[in-house]
């Protein structure tokens, strides 16, 4: 029996590189699921287990049952993933603002983009805050510009001053929701806020940021030559600057499943590098004497790699672009060393490099979707390579490749897209089939041509030509988005669903026989589990001023305006396509809304005169959510949660069960992690605390 198991496992030894990123990723995933840091002793135990498992795997691998050593190597990889994630968390540690700040903010612009409200947003480094000790000042802050602006034209490297409201990054708007604090931690953003006062320039752009200034100059030149949304689109795909993109256009691209064309990711990097590689290889091969005197493939690979590196620099080194560059770089290096470029091994090496350098990328949408698409494409085209060559006429092969690529990539990324964005673009395949070829054959080649002509002052020739295919793509996006039923909305899946789909899909691709069948069963089981997803009966925002209760019509909200991000997130996670105003119309609006639930009555007290109405609300024996300025003294025996308590617990979710209401808080789910600790110290201690929630419910 042991011999048979060892023999079956030993067959996988030659494919260990394919499994290495999977087990490393499992360890990284486990780290982000922890509720607290392991501590010195904990890390010592993890390191010891990693070394012990690695040694056991090596020793057993040299014994009579070498295959039995592979599970030990897998365990070592899991432990290594844990340590990589913990080490990265410590390396990027930076101050996080633990109080609300209003006053002067000075800093150097490093990133310019737009917020969800379409306001220009600046990320600043070299920050100075008035009357804040230097060691408490965040490394980076992000400020949205509202009100009357226009006194300064922001460019990277410019030092500016604003009078801004700042606070630490906000936590999830519901337990288990997207945690912006974690993302901000790994980007060294220690405070976010806004200003309604004009931003003022203190110093011009520095020479220390030449790439950033070059990006801004290229973006401005592109938009000056190509007017309107087409110019904004061209700037986005060439420099990564999306600050000029209108919300209506972005929404149309999302609804048609073409939003990926905006991100400088695997598609753009692949198209650019592929065009440079193919054009140069063909040109050298056609040059008399050159094709026989050197390996033109390797020369073309070196130049294409340099072009990709330049494109990475121009994009500002965003996470998605860095990931795309690593993937194409691995494939180009494979050509240089005489290996086939598009293989699952190349994809695995790229994943390993990214997980080692930036373990946090595992939990980001871009990593999940790009590797899902790439892995599926390489697997499917590898399996169909002989079919294409033997059974399809030459004229049909490009058409078949485009349609199949869009179909495979769409199917591979669909579960991730639906889980992350709670929407499905029903006509996305059509939009991609008629747009992606235009992107690859016209837009990206013309962008390369514009770059080559720029030193001669002739880039306008290529840019003028590039405008029309971009206009076509935008036209397709708007037409598809306007079709009836273009977008479907999907409920958020249970936590186990996406790991099951990912691991099951990888088993289908990497294993054979029974292993492949088992992977397919896991994927089907995950999809079945998704269909049984449920949502909390009541959600309470971190400030307490917005409450959403599930009704027969969908979630009803306590107000039609304000806290738009929380309202939008709740409705999207419900799979509800309605807007906040319509959701608020589902319940009768009152001064102090009350929710009468089985075993629990909630009353929200907020707005003007809230303090005067609090005593009456407390007398009603309801659980009172007091969403107003904290008072020095509360009515005796009042069963309530105020803003100070909610600041520590975070958003609340209440689920009605046969045993009574079950309350879950963000603090319980997120735990005590480096990126959550500021929340636990930024409010003064008041009653009740997070630990008092079960008692409060029990009183009902």
What are 654-670's pLDDT values in tens digits?
998 888 888 899 999 99
Tokens 């939008």 locate to 568
Q: What would the pLDDT profile of 533-567 be if each residue is shown by its tens digit? A: 999 999 999 989 999 999 889 999 998 888 889 99
More confident residue, 402 or 458: 458
Hey, which bits of 323-436 come out as E strands? 423-425
In terms of average pLDDT, the best of 15-29, 246-260, 335-349, 675-689 is: 15-29
DSSP state of 206: P
Helix axes 266-286, 319-336, angle to 10 degrees: 30
Distance CA 527, CA 377 (A): 21
- In this predicted structure, the answer to whether residue 411 has a pLDDT above a threshold of 80 is yes
Q: Which of 260, 279, 171, 57 is nearest to 671 (CA)?
A: 171
Vertex 326, ends 322 and 327: CA angle to 5°?
Answer: 120
CATH of the domain at 166: 2.40.50
More confident residue, 614 or 210: 614
Q: Are residues 119 and 56 in the same domain?
A: no
The two three-digit tokens of residue 325, written as one number? 């560059």
In terms of average pLDDT, the best of 259-268, 308-317, 411-420, 568-577 is: 568-577
Sign of CA dihedral 403, 409, 414, 420: negative
Residue range 225-229: mean pLDDT, rounded: 91
- The rounded radius of gyration (Å) of the Cα atoms in the chain is 28
Overall domain count for the chain: 5
- In this predicted structure, the answer to whether residue 473 has a pLDDT above a threshold of 60 is yes
In terms of average pLDDT, the best of 83-92, 156-165, 233-242, 340-349 is: 83-92
Q: Are residues 560 and 671 in the same domain?
A: yes
- In this predicted structure, the answer to whether residue 692 has a pLDDT above a threshold of 70 is no
Q: What phi, psi does 541 have (nearest 5°)?
A: -70, 165
pLDDT of res. 609: 85
- In this predicted structure, the answer to whether residue 214 has a pLDDT above a threshold of 90 is no
Q: Please, what's the b/e burial string for 452-469 (b: 16 or more CB within 10 A of its CB; e: otherwise)?
A: eeeeeeebeebbeebbeb
Which 3 state secondary structure label does DSSP give 103?
Answer: strand
Determine contact, residues 590/572, Cβ cutoff 8 Å: no
CA–CA distances in Å: residue 193 to residues 102, 241, 331: 9, 21, 41
Final residue before a domain boundary, out of 43, 68, 92: 92
Distance CA 366, CA 319 (A): 8
pLDDT of res. 319: 60
- In this predicted structure, the answer to whether residue 165 has a pLDDT above a threshold of 90 is yes
- In this predicted structure, the answer to whether residue 691 has a pLDDT above a threshold of 60 is no
Helix axes 228-239, 210-225, angle to 10 degrees: 150
pLDDT of res. 267: 67
How many angstroms from the chain centroid is the CA of residue 512? 32
Residue range 582-602: mean pLDDT, rounded: 83
Q: Are residues 121 and 270 in the same domain?
A: no
Residue range 422-435: mean pLDDT, rounded: 88
pLDDT of res. 317: 62
CA–CA distances in Å: residue 74 to residues 25, 282, 513: 11, 44, 21
Edge-to-edge order in the sheet of strand 594-597: 594-597, 600-606, 623-627, 640-642
- For 608, residues 6+ apart whose C-beta sits below 8 A from its C-beta are none
Distance CA 14, CA 607 (A): 66
Q: Are residues 134 and 33 in the same domain?
A: no
Q: Are residues 343 and 199 in the same domain?
A: no
Hey, which bits of 100-188 come out as E strands? 101-114, 120-129, 140-145, 159-167
Burial (CB < 10 A; 0-12, 13-18, 19+), residue 145, is buried
- In this predicted structure, the answer to whether residue 390 has a pLDDT above a threshold of 60 is no
Q: Are residues 481 and 500 in the same domain?
A: no
Distance CA 370, CA 416 (A): 10
pLDDT of res. 391: 66
Cα-based torsion angle of the residue sequence 312, 316, 322, 328 in order, rounded to the nearest 10 degrees: -10
DSSP state of 153: -
Final residue before a domain boundary, out of 92, 126, 159: 92
Determine contact, residues 289/459, Cβ cutoff 8 Å: no
- In this predicted structure, the answer to whether residue 171 has a pLDDT above a threshold of 70 is yes
pLDDT of res. 699: 46
pLDDT of res. 498: 95
Which 3 state secondary structure label does DSSP give 14?
Answer: helix
Question: What is the pLDDT confidence band of residue 185, given thresholds at 50, 70 and 90?
Answer: very high
Q: Are residues 319 and 336 in the same domain?
A: yes
Determine contact, residues 138/93, Cβ cutoff 8 Å: no
- In this predicted structure, the answer to whether residue 187 has a pLDDT above a threshold of 50 is yes
Q: Where do the H-state alpha helices sit in 455-562?
A: 459-481, 497-510, 514-531
- For 651, residues 6+ apart whose C-beta sits below 8 A from its C-beta are 171, 172, 173, 174, 175, 177, 539, 540, 541, 542, 566, 665, 666
- In this predicted structure, the answer to whether residue 220 has a pLDDT above a threshold of 90 is no
Determine contact, residues 507/15, Cβ cutoff 8 Å: no
Vertex 343, ends 341 and 347: CA angle to 5°?
Answer: 95
More confident residue, 541 or 630: 541
Contacts of residues 527-531 at CB distance under 8 Å and 24 or more positions apart, as own/partner, are 527/415, 527/497, 527/501, 529/493, 529/494, 529/496, 529/497, 529/500, 530/491, 530/493, 530/494, 530/497
pLDDT, the chain, mean: 85
DSSP state of 631: P
Which 3 state secondary structure label does DSSP give 601?
Answer: strand
Q: Are residues 526 and 563 in the same domain?
A: no
Burial (CB < 10 A; 0-12, 13-18, 19+), residue 64, is exposed
The two three-digit tokens of residue 414, written as one number? 């669909």
Distance CA 592, CA 559 (A): 11
Q: Which of 245, 242, 232, 251 is nearest to 481 (CA)?
A: 251
Distance CA 624, CA 604 (A): 6
pLDDT of res. 684: 39
Determine contact, residues 164/102, Cβ cutoff 8 Å: yes
- In this predicted structure, the answer to whether residue 242 has a pLDDT above a threshold of 60 is yes
pTM: 0.86
Q: Are residues 24 and 47 in the same domain?
A: yes
Determine contact, residues 145/160, Cβ cutoff 8 Å: no
Final residue before a domain boundary, out of 92, 125, 152: 92
Question: What is the pLDDT confidence band of residue 698, given thresholds at 50, 70 and 90?
Answer: very low
Give the Cβ contact number of residue 260 at 10 Å: 23
Q: Give the percent of the chain with pLDDT over 90.
A: 38
Residue range 262-266: mean pLDDT, rounded: 66
Q: Where do the H-state alpha helices sit in 575-690?
A: 580-584, 610-618, 643-649, 666-670
Distance CA 402, CA 395 (A): 12
Q: Are residues 513 and 546 in the same domain?
A: no
Residue 64: which domain range?
1-92
Q: Are residues 395 and 474 in the same domain?
A: yes
Q: Are residues 170 and 245 in the same domain?
A: no
Determine contact, residues 428/418, Cβ cutoff 8 Å: no
């Amino acid at each position: 029996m042991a011999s048979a198991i060892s023999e079956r496992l030993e067959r996988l030894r030659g494919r260990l590189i394919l499994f290495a990123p999977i087990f490393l990723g499992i360890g990284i995933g486990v780290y982000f699921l922890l509720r607290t840091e392991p501590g010195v002793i904990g890390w010592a135990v993890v390191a010891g287990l990693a070394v012990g498992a690695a040694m056991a795997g090596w020793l057993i691998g040299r014994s009579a049952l070498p295959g039995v050593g592979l599970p030990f190597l897998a365990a070592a990889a899991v432990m290594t993933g844990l340590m990589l994630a913990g080490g990265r968390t410590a390396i990027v540690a930076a101050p996080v603002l633990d109080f609300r700040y209003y006053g002067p903010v000075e800093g150097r612009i490093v990133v310019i983009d737009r917020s969800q409200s379409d306001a220009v947003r600046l990320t600043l480094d070299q920050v100075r805050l008035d009357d804040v000790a230097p060691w408490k000042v965040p490394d980076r802050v992000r400020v949205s510009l509202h009100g009357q602006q226009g006194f300064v034209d922001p460019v990277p490297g410019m030092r500016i001053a604003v009078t801004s409201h700042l606070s630490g990054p906000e936590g999830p708007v519901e337990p288990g929701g997207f945690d912006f604090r974690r993302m901000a931690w790994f980007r060294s953003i220690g405070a976010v806020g806004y200003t309604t006062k004009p931003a003022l320039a203190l110093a011009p752009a520095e020479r220390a940021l030449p790439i950033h200034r070059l990006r801004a100059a290229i973006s401005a030149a592109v938009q000056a030559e190509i007017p309107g949304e087409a110019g904004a689109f061209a700037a986005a795909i060439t420099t990564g600057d999306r600050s000029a993109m209108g919300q209506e256009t972005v929404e149309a691209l999302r609804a048609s499943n073409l939003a990926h064309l905006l991100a400088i990711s695997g598609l753009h990097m692949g198209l650019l590098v592929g065009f440079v590689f193919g054009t140069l290889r063909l040109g050298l091969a056609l040059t008399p004497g050159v094709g026989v005197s050197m390996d033109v493939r390797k020369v073309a690979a070196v130049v294409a790699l340099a072009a990709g590196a330049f494109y990475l620099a121009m994009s500002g080194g965003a996470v998605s672009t860095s990931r795309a560059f690593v993937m194409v770089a691995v494939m180009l290096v494979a050509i240089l060393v005489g290996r086939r470029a598009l293989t699952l091994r190349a994809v695995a090496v790229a994943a390993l490099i990214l997980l080692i350098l930036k373990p946090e990328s595992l939990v980001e949408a871009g990593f999940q979707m790009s590797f899902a698409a790439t892995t599926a494409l390489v697997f499917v085209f590898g399996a169909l390579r002989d079919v294409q060559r033997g059974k399809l006429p030459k004229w049909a092969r490009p058409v078949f490749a485009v349609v199949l690529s869009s179909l495979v990539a769409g199917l591979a990324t669909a579960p991730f897209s639906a889980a992350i964005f709670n929407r499905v673009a029903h006509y996305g395949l059509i939009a991609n089939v008629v747009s992606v070829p235009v992107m690859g054959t016209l837009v990206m080649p013309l962008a390369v041509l514009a770059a080559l002509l720029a030193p001669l002052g002739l880039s306008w020739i290529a840019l003028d030509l590039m405008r029309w295919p971009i206009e076509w793509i935008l036209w397709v996006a708007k037409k598809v988005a306007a079709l009836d039923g273009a977008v479907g909305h999907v409920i958020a899946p249970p936590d186990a669903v996406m790991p099951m789909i990912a691991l099951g899909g990888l088993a289908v691709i990497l294993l054979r026989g029974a292993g492949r069948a088992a992977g397919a069963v896991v994927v089907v089981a995950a999809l079945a589990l998704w269909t049984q997803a449920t949502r909390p009966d009541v959600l309470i925002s971190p400030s307490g001023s917005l409450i959403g209760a599930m009704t027969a019509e969908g979630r009803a909200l306590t107000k039609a305006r304000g806290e738009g991000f929380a309202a939008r997130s709740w409705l999207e996670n419900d799979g509800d396509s309605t807007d906040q105003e319509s959701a608020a119309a589902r319940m009768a609006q009152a001064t102090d809304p009350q929710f009468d639930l089985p075993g629990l009555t909630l009353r929200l007290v907020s707005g003007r005169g809230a303090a005067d109405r609090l005593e009456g609300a407390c007398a009603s024996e309801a659980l009172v959510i007091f969403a107003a300025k904290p008072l020095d003294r509360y009515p005796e025996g009042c069963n309530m949660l105020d803003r100070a308590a909610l600041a520590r617990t975070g958003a609340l979710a209440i689920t009605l069960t046969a045993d009574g209401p079950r309350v879950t808080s963000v603090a319980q789910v997120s735990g005590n992690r480096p990126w959550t600790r500021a929340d636990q110290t930024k409010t003064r201690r008041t009653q009740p605390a997070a630990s008092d929630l079960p008692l409060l419910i029990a009183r009902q």
